[in-house]
A and B are shown apart, each in its own frame.
Chain A
């Protein structure tokens, strides 16, 4: 208390007014920040609330058990199609991504690793519509795949690959280097060390990356528009020349139709997407908690 005494005598009226002004400025900016935070949260709740309220009436058994027909119907084909597309794309991007992430984290020298990492970052910056466009002109037309599961799955895999590579690499890097050296010292091959010693502690991180990739693939539309096409029937599981239905397409097209029944279908599809994403989000949170523990 005594220490501050001399300073206090220096404060004339003018300086006090200045401090008051600066405090006011600070308060004002915090209040504005608070309003912005509230606005952002309000928008989250508004979007979720609107989708929940509008989509809920469509959550009937019929929605899950019938296919879309014309302007309305159910969503069975789109739900199954989305699942098949995600599964097929994750088989591709998961394999490539986990292996690629391992190489960058363990085997590659620092220079090669930085080049590969840079390429991965670049790929994650490619707009999804360009991947879709490329998929269309190359796979669907030039290579004659037609609208098909394979063309769509590859497009989605290209889109999600960078995320899996990045998270796999990051989670392997968090495993102490001594684990790796210890494995080699015990006479294990590089591959066995990686698979049996390093991969276990990195697994929650790798899974997080794959779930992230799934949630990105789930919400994408642009790369599927011209590769998956659209089908009023359940996915045929043929790789080529057989279009696949998916949920985001329903949200996009059926919201533009002038019929109430179509709108209902779009809202319900949006609600299903949000619910699936919410589940993925929660699982990712749980995995992250496990990673920390």
Chain B
């Protein structure tokens, strides 16, 4: 008895330590990133976030660039605005495409598709969420980039007289639009399945009331179901957005990888996540270590952006699920 109660206590302590793991890991990552990125902030100042030139400098030059008491390779300048713009613009394109597609798909799945068919379709959409990002990248290279270059791009260019941003030239098909399209396909399953789960929680009675009042099925959805899940839906969208912000490999494969501000919809761009993946190798060759510090600050910036969006989204989904009426129904 004594032994087993001692073991029980030990076990409890072990589970407590394990449960603290995620908290500890998050804190360690944030603290390590903050400490490691301070030199970059000292070297570059606040122009780190507003500068448009990302240049690790000439590691073989005989002199060093010194700013703010910190040494870096000659001519090094770290401005991450192109990466921020690339991240935001690709993910916004993805959202603009994904939201209507995902929400309408979820609606038809819940309200129109027969249950037996839905049992086949839902797993397929969930499978889409599980496809590795490199396979999406491969699909982007094989299908989406040529499609943008030869079909969608030339077609959109006709609108260029109205919206100059759509006027070409289209160069390789690898760029902003392609990355946005691939990201859209990656977040559609996330938003679809979350929206579907939320719609299933909408009680039958108000919907039937709406139909009884003579509303068409879509008016019922617009005035009853969508307002019902509003917060949760917003959360689902931001959740998808968070995924798009942090996506690395697929974007790395189809974005064209240029650290420039996009000139038009087809320009090659780079996102923060894919810049980290692409530049870490060469940054390690900078013996002043300033490039690594700069990448750390870039990583920290990305982390802060994704954490803020994710926390906001989860809070909203949580509040959305906690609606008193929804609980009664469940």
Could you list which residues of chain A lie within 8 angstroms of chain B, going by C-beta atoms?
A: 22-23, 25-26, 29-30, 32-34, 36-37, 39-41, 43-44, 46-47, 50-51, 54, 95-104, 107-108, 115-116, 119-123, 125-134, 136-138, 141, 158, 161-162, 165, 189-192, 215, 218-222, 225-226, 248, 251-252, 255-256, 266-267, 270, 273-274, 277-278, 281, 285
What does the 1/0 interface line of B1-29 toward A look like (CB < 8 Å)? 00011011001101111111111011001
Which residues from A are CB-within-8-Å of B20?
A: 100, 116
**Complex: how many Å from CA A99 to CA B14?**
7
Q: Is the CB of A215 within 8 A of B130?
A: yes
Identify the interface centre among B16, B107, B141, B189: most chain A CB within 10 Å of its CB: B16
Top 8 closest A-B pairs, CB basis? Answer: A127-B246, A219-B132, A125-B310, A189-B8, A99-B18, A119-B23, A103-B15, A103-B19
Which residues from B are CB-within-8-Å of A54?
A: 142
What does the 1/0 interface line of B132-159 toward A look like (CB < 8 Å)? 1111111101110000000000000000
B: number of interface residues (CB 8 Å): 83
Which residues from A are CB-within-8-Å of B26?
A: 119, 122-123, 126
**Complex: how many Å from CA A117 to CA B144?**
39
Contact of A99 among B19, B135, B217 (CB under 8 A): B19
Contact of A129 among B33, B36, B248 (CB under 8 A): B248
Contact of A222 among B11, B273, B292 (CB under 8 A): B273
Q: Is the CB of A122 within 8 A of B253?
A: no
* Closest chain B residue, CB of each to CB of A215: B130
Contact of A191 among B7, B123, B248, B299 (CB under 8 A): B7
* A116-B135 contact, Cβ under 8 Å, with A22-B219, A191-B12, A255-B253: no
Q: Is the CB of B19 within 8 A of A116?
A: yes
**Complex: how many Å from CA A127 to CA B91?**
14
Q: Is the CB of A23 within 8 A of B307?
A: no
A-B contacts, 6 of them at CB < 8 A, read: A26-B216, A39-B101, A108-B16, A119-B26, A127-B302, A251-B134
* A122-B139 contact, Cβ under 8 Å, with A23-B216, A32-B104: no
Q: Is the CB of A248 within 8 A of B295?
A: no
Could you list which residues of chain B lie within 8 angstroms of chain A, going by C-beta atoms?
A: 4-5, 7-8, 11-12, 14-23, 25-26, 29, 32-33, 36, 100-101, 104-105, 107-109, 112-113, 121, 123-128, 130-139, 141-143, 185, 188-189, 192, 216-219, 242, 245-249, 253, 273-274, 276-277, 280, 284, 292, 295-296, 299, 302-303, 306-307, 310-311, 314
Which residues from B are CB-within-8-Å of A50?
A: 139, 142-143
Contact of B310 among A121, A165, A189 (CB under 8 A): A121
Q: Is the CB of A127 within 8 A of B273?
A: yes
* A134-B33 contact, Cβ under 8 Å, with A22-B216, A123-B22: yes
**Complex: how many Å from CA A128 to CA B123?**
25
Q: Is the CB of A100 within 8 A of B19?
A: yes
**Complex: how many Å from CA A190 to CA B134?**
45
Which residues from A are CB-within-8-Å of B101?
A: 36, 39-40
Q: Is the CB of B249 within 8 A of A221?
A: yes
* Closest chain B residue, CB of each to CB of A276: B132
* A116-B306 contact, Cβ under 8 Å, with A39-B101, A122-B311: no
- How many pairs, one residue from A and one from B, have CB atoms within 8 Å of each other in the complex? 251
* A221-B134 contact, Cβ under 8 Å, with A44-B125, A44-B128, A130-B29: yes
Which residues from A are CB-within-8-Å of B306?
A: 125-127
Contact of A107 among B16, B127, B295 (CB under 8 A): B16
Q: Do most interface residues of chain A lie in helix, strand or loop, or is the interface mixed?
A: helix
* A47-B219 contact, Cβ under 8 Å, with A161-B21, A274-B131: no
Contact of B105 among A33, A101, A131 (CB under 8 A): A33
**Complex: how many Å from CA A22 to CA B216?**
7
Apart from A41-B124, A191-B7, A221-B249, what are 14 other A-B pairs with CB-CB below 8 Å?
A37-B113, A41-B121, A46-B139, A100-B19, A103-B15, A108-B16, A121-B314, A133-B295, A133-B296, A134-B32, A162-B22, A191-B12, A252-B137, A255-B141
* A137-B303 contact, Cβ under 8 Å, with A119-B22, A218-B132, A281-B123: no
Q: Is the CB of B131 within 8 A of A25?
A: no
* Closest chain B residue, CB of each to CB of A136: B280
Identify the interface centre among A34, A44, A158: most chain B CB within 10 Å of its CB: A44
Q: Is the CB of B8 within 8 A of A219?
A: no
Q: Is the CB of A191 within 8 A of B8?
A: yes
**Complex: how many Å from CA A50 to CA B94?**
22
CB distance from A115 to the nearest CB of B (A): 7
